Each structure stands twice: as C-alpha cells, then as structure tokens.
Structure 1
Amino acid sequence: MHFSSGSLPSVVALTVFLARASVYAHPHSFAIWAADSAIARGQGNGLDSNGEPTDSYEHGELQWGLRLLYETTGNESYFNYIVQGASQIVDSKGDIEGGYSIVAYSQDPIRTGPTFAYLYERTGQSKWKIAMDTYHQQLMGQPRTAEGQFWHKLIYYNQGWLDGIYMGEVFYTVYTNTFQPTNATAYADIAKQFDLMFQNTIQKKGVANYTGLMYHGYDYSHTASWASEDRGHSPEVWIRALGWYMMALVDILEIYPEDNSIFLDHLNTLVPRVRDAADPDSGVWWLVMTQPGRAGNYFESSGSAMFVYAMLKAVRLGYVVDNNGSIVKAATKAYQYMIDNWVVDNRDGTMDWLNTVLVGSLDGNGTFEYYTSIEVDTNDLKGLAAFLLASLEYETL
C-alpha cells in the first residue's frame, strides 16, 4: 500500500489493508502452515493425480506428520484427513487398493502401514489389521540377500537401498509390537536390516570424496553396473536416501522395545558427520553430498529437512548428546535457510515448498550426472512432509 507524501491513509483504505493482511497472514506455526497447505491442495489424500487410489509412501510420510500434529494441537481435522486418505487406500474388507501387488515385493507401499496401525489402535476396525497382515505377509516373504538384507524390490536383484529402511522397518517394528511383542527373532531381524545396510554402504576412510556417510545402496551380487568392487555399493551419497535412513533411526528408537544399541551407534556416528557436511555458508546440504560445490550440484530441500528433523529429534530425546550445542546450532541454521529460501507465501493462506528433487533411483548408473539431471519439483510431498516434521521439532525446541 502506498501513502502519498504529507497525507494519512483514509479509514477505509486502512481497513482494507488490515483485512488483506489478515487474509494473507500465515499461521504462527510453520508446521501447521505446511500441513494446511498440503490439505488445501488435496495432497496425501490416498489418491493420485488422476483421482485413483494410490498406496504411496509419500502419503504415509505426510500422515505420520499429521498424526504428530494432531497429537500436538488436538485439531481433529488432521485426524479426519488421515482417516479420509487411508480409507482411499484400504477398502471396507481390508484389501489394499492402488494397484498393490504382494508379489512385486516392493517396500515402498509399506510406508503406509504405520498409518493403518495407528487407525487400528484408535478405532479397532478389523480392516486396518487385515491390511497390516498383508504387508507383514509380504515382508515375511520378501527376497533377501545371502546375508539376510531385504531386497528393495523384486525387480532390483540382491539390492538394498537406504530408502527401503524407512519404508519397511518402522512398520515391521510397529506390527511386531502390536501383535508379536515376545517375538525376539523379529526384533533381531529388524536390527539386522539396519546394520547390514549400514555396514554395506558406510563410506570407509581413504576413498575419494570421503564424507563418512552412507552411499545410496548396494548390490550384494555385484552385478549392477554401478556396484563397487569391494562391497558392491553405489558411487555417490545421495541426500534423500540418507535422509530416509536418518529419519528411520530416530523414529524406530521411540518404539523399539529391545536392545537399541545398534540404532544408537549408527545415529551417533552419522549425526556429527551430517552436521559437518553442511555447506558452511547456507547451512544446508548438497543434493550429491560426495561432491559439494561441483557445477550442476545444488542445495536440496527434502533431504535437508529430513536432516533437521532427525538431528533435533535425536538431541531432544537424548539419543545424541549435544555437549557444545553444535548439532542444534547446525540444525537451526539450516532451518532458517529453509524458511528464508524454500517457503513461498502464496498470499492466499497457503505456502509453496521449493527445491525438492523429484526422484532418485539406482535403476540406472547412479552417477553424479544422473542425480543432477532429475527435475526439481514445487510442493513435492516428499519434501513438504519432511518440512512439516522438521518444523514440529523446531517449534518444540
């Protein structure tokens, strides 16, 4: 609004200005703003862009955040949206929609399983247990490497990806807690999934572009074009794969009832290295973390938000001791960059979220050129849901 020199605005003009400011003002909470914006766009509602049911892990990620937001605020609309979305995925008989096929042995859809578990706990409706049983049946038949690692999908022969840990193992734990709480074999298997992934993908000192972090995945059979000679790992540390793994660590530590030393060891190894890998100026992280500053590389928003969530939650719950405050300082610096650069006020009560890479796969050659060639998306749910989670932790802090 422009005020002419030497004059005061009229009462009418000032009233209009204040009314517009009220409409445009976003909620005090960025977590609420992110959630409300996703809901306003119909994101994470159990349907794909064509209005067909989809058992998408992105929807499971958002529903996890909406559950936490509901528990924080008591706002029933978040719970109702979870029910609405999950009911698109699971029909009244408990069958999973969205083209789900148990024999595809893909871990990705299983990320919606924790939502079913939550709704079964809240409602007692049998359809949620039936759907959970289906996912559990899949995991029990999931192809494995000779060491015992779940394949990421049937089509990826002998391959373990960091992504799969987030998709499958949190549900595996929730299911075991709910229906098989004395199954020590299952709990040992869950810990083994994390540890095999860690041991087969963690960077060893002396390698080129050393970060001490985890490569995107590995091929136990060493037959993939990208498999290294030593452990069969992929060539680069890709930000979102590591982000999935970090979030899985802090989420499972809250619910795993047995000896959690493996998870704590991994988390305490990774958190300081993630802190140190941040760009010193911006405070956030590069898409390809093994090649910071290389032409074509850029700061990526979904992985950065995942790191902030994992770091702050790890410190808040005492899983990682932040003696000198450097971990929280790094996470809060990154969060400030995120809201300054990747949050856009649409002036209609909603926000946009920028700079999330659309996808990352080991279906090809896993090179730097591959990762940096993928399109960057606006309001990609993988990034927006991670920002919701990061905001919840930041606002708790």
Structure 2
Amino acid sequence: MHIQTLTLALFASATSTLAAPNATKPYSTWMASSFTQKGQSLNIHYVQAIIHEGIQKAATTQKDATLLSYASKAVSSLVKADGTITGWDPLYYTLDDVRFGNNILHFWNAGGRKEKKYEIAAKALRDQLNRWPRTPKGGFWHRAPVYKNQMWLDGIYMADTFYATYTSYFEPNNVTAWNDISLQFELIEEHCRNHTSNLLQHGYSEDKSTVWADPVTGASPLVWNRAVGWYFVALVEVLEVFPKSHPGYAKLKGYLTTLADGLKKSQDASGGWWLIMNEPYPGMKGNYIESSATAMFAYGYLKGIRLGLVDAAYKSTALKAWDLMIDEFVQYEKNGTLSWTGTVEVGSLKGDASYEYYIGVPLALNDGKGAAPFMYTATEIELAGL
C-alpha cells in the first residue's frame, strides 16, 4: 500500500516504534502529553499556536489539569503584563501571526474574561486588521509586501477565525465587521472554487500579476490539500460564532456544504486525501496520501456534525480517515509516547505553484501542522463517544 511504503521509507531508521496497540487511554491527551516532552518552542508562530490549542482542547475534553496548565502557562508567557505580545510586530503584516489571537481569546474567555492583558493583546491584533493591506476588492493580503494582492485559503484560517471570535465576544452587533468577514470568504469562493469538483485552488492573485495566476480567475493551478483543510476548518469555526440572522451565515454554510460534498468524493479508498487533489493528479507518480489534511478534514466533519453544520452521514467519512490516522500516521514509541508522521513541511505560492514543486517538499516527523489537527480530531472522537 502506498502509504505504508511511504511511511516505512521515511522512518525506516526509527527502530524505537511499535505496532499500533489497542489504545487504553484517550488519543487526545496521549498525543498532547507526548508533545510536551518533545521540547516545544515558545513563540507566536501559528504552528506553536495550534499545537498549544491542540493541547488545550485535549486537556479540556479530558479534564486534565496538568496539560491545561501547560497550555495556559505557554500562552501567558508570551503576553506581558501590559498586554504586549512577545515577538509580534504590529507593522509586519502576515496573516500567519494572527492565529495566536485564538489562544489569547480562549484563555481570556475560559478565565472568566478577567485577564486584562489578554484583552489588550487581542485588541492590538484586531486593530491591526483595520490597517491591513487589502486587494482592490477588500481581501486581506496574505503577507505584505511579498504577496501583494494575493489571498490564500491558509490565510482565511489564520485571520478570520480570530476576527469572527473577537467580534462575537466584543462587538457582536458590529454589522460592518460581520460583512467584512463574510467578504473574505466570498472573494475566495469567487476566484478559487471549482464548481465541478467542489474543491478550491490554493489561492489567487487579484491583479493576476503572478506567474501562476489563471488569466481569467487569477487562481493558482492546483488544489493543495492542506490549504483546503485550513479552509474547511475555518468555515466550521467561523460558523460556530457567526450570527445566524446575518445574510453571510447562509452563504458560509452553503460553502461548507459544498466543500463537504467535494471532500467526500475526493477521499481515497485508504481513508486519506492526496497531497494534490485535483484531476489528473490523484494516483500520479510522486503524489501521496498526506496526513495533516486528512486530520483537518476528519476534524472539520466531526465538529461540523456536532454543531449541526454538516450532515451526520459524513461520520463514516471521518471515521474512515480516523482509522487510517491511528494505523498509519500515529507512530507508537517504545517509551509509551506517540509521534506523528506523514506531514508535508510546507506549501507556498511564492514560486511557480507547479506539481513538481508541491511533491518535492519533504515530509517531517512530529510536525505540528499535522499533530495539532490530530489532537483536534481526537477530542471530537472522544466527545462523540466514538
């Protein structure tokens, strides 16, 4: 099987691994506690933000005070007493750095909304969005100035989940903000959605100035699975807090319904999803089933079902992916910890966005971009009693 071959090739030297056991403890806290032993960095980069979010979700679900304290202290250590965020530059515009705002908001809310430093820090991130460079139609640039007039699916997850959660907490009646959040999704849908497959290209260039831009839509040529994964999760997370009375709610729910259909149709028989998802690439030489998007899609389905946002019939799709993850992508170490395999290091639109580029990027062991979504998925499995 191609996944098995890939995993063995990548990690043949990892002789400390065991076969998958019959798990007697929750996978969420098992993976989370394993990651606390892997020497986590403390910074506001989105990878650390989602790792600590995964640990927090696991701890909350399983009522693990030790893990919850670990995540809380990690986030708190990055926000000074005066609300200054360590390592954050208010004049540097990269959507990746906004994701840390979700960690801040979680602990502010969970702590009874009393921690003033978190409120100040979150407002600083929110105020930066007011100054953000935008495309002529109003979309946030993915990063300034290097990705001028470009929107990526990744950026929707990084910024608009925070934007929506902040608005729901502090400005629930701010129609202008809700309109703006809806607009970000509408622009992505207008330029990146393929209405045959119901999938979306990685991003688009509004002025069509980049080498990869489609001359009509401005879209990049390929459907990269992790970008779609970020977007799928973003739709679920934003709809969770979006006002149902706002016209944007129905639009976003329609986008989610359509994407859920496209993902089910594109799922491989193994239960996972190909790195490059659009035809004719699935099964093509060099392509492979990749773990981070597989985790994101499973999580999006399960949380979407729990919130009543997607049809419960998709549970079988998610469980098929879950079975693959615990059999193929979770690595069982002799010391009792878990590792995570099969996650591609990066995917960017800074080059030619070619098939050769995407399949040429190495895979990484214990990459938080895959392990964190696995923790998210595990919490949903456990909440559902599956």
Q: Same fold (TM over 0.5)?
A: yes
CA displacement at 1:201 relative to structure 2: 0.5
Structure 1 runs, 4 residues or longer, greater than 4 Å off: 24-27
Determine the structure 2 residue equivalent to 1:338: 325
The reply on whether 1:129 has 2:119 as its aligned counterpart is yes
User: Contact 2:140 / 2:184 at 8 angstroms: preserved in 1?
Assistant: yes
1:71 deviates by 2.7
Alignment of 1:97-176 (within 5 A): 97-98=86-87, 100-121=88-109, 122=111, 124-154=114-144, 155-176=146-167
Q: 1:270 aligns with which of 259, 262, 265?
A: 259
TM-aligned CA deviation for residue 370 of structure 1 = 0.5
State the identity as a percent.
37
User: Displacement of 1:27 after TM fit?
Assistant: 4.9
Match of 2:15 in 1: none
Query: Does 1 or 2 have the higher relative contact order (CA < 8 Å, sep 6+)?
Result: 2
Q: Distance in 2 between matches of 1:150 and 1:131?
A: 20
Q: Deviations over 1:29-70 (max 9, x none)?
A: 111111111112133x5x2xxxxxx21111222233333323
2:210 to 216, 220, 224: 224
- Tell me the alpha carbon deviations over residues 276-324 of structure 1, each in whole angstroms, 9 at most, x when there is no partner: 10112x12100011110110011100001000000122222221124xx
* Correspondence for 1:353: 340
Residue 62 of structure 1 corresponds to which residue in structure 2? 51
The separation in 1 between residues aligned to 2:236 and 2:272, in whole angstroms, is 20
Mapped partners of 2:182, 2:67: distance in 1? 32
SS of 2:220 mapped into structure 1 = coil
Cα separation, 1, equivalents of 2:228 and 2:54:
19
- Contact 1:26/1:349 (CA < 8 Å) preserved in 2? no
* Counterpart contact for 2:156–2:231, Cα < 8 Å: yes
Measured after TM superposition, the shift of residue 75 of structure 1 is: 1.5
Change (3 A) 1:265 1:204: closer
CA distance in 1, matches of 2:62, 2:39: 21
In structure 1, what residue type is equivalent to 2:53? Answer: W
Q: In 1, Cα distance between the equivalents of 2:223 and 2:359?
A: 13
- Compute the RMSD of aligned alpha carbons: 1.7
CA distance in 1, matches of 2:315, 2:62: 24
> When the two structures are superposed, what TM-score results if normalisation uses the length of structure 2?
0.89
**TM-score normalized by structure 1?**
0.86
Contact 1:27/1:33 (8 A) holds in 2: no
Q: 5 Å matches for 1:25-104?
A: 27-43=24-40, 47=42, 54-98=43-87, 100-104=88-92
Deviations 1:92-114 (A, max 9, x none): 2211112x222221111110101
Q: Which has the larger Rg? A: 1
Between the aligned partners of 1:192 and 1:120, the Cα distance in structure 2 is: 27
Structure-2 change in CA distance of 1:314 and 1:367 (3 Å): same
**Is the deviation greater in 55-64 or in 365-374?**
55-64
Counterparts of 1:70 and 1:36, CA distance in 2: 9
Check the 8 A contact 2:61/2:383 in 1, yes or no.
Answer: no
Q: Structure 1, unaligned stretches of length 5 or more?
A: 1-20, 48-53, 206-210
Provide the C-alpha distance between the structure 1 equivalents of 2:171 and 2:203, rounded to a whole number of angstroms: 30
Q: Secondary structure of 2:371's match? A: helix
Task: Choose which of 269, 281, 284 in structure 1 pairs with 2:272.
Answer: 284
SS at match of 2:331: strand
- CA distance in 1: counterparts of 2:170 and 2:372, whole angstroms: 29
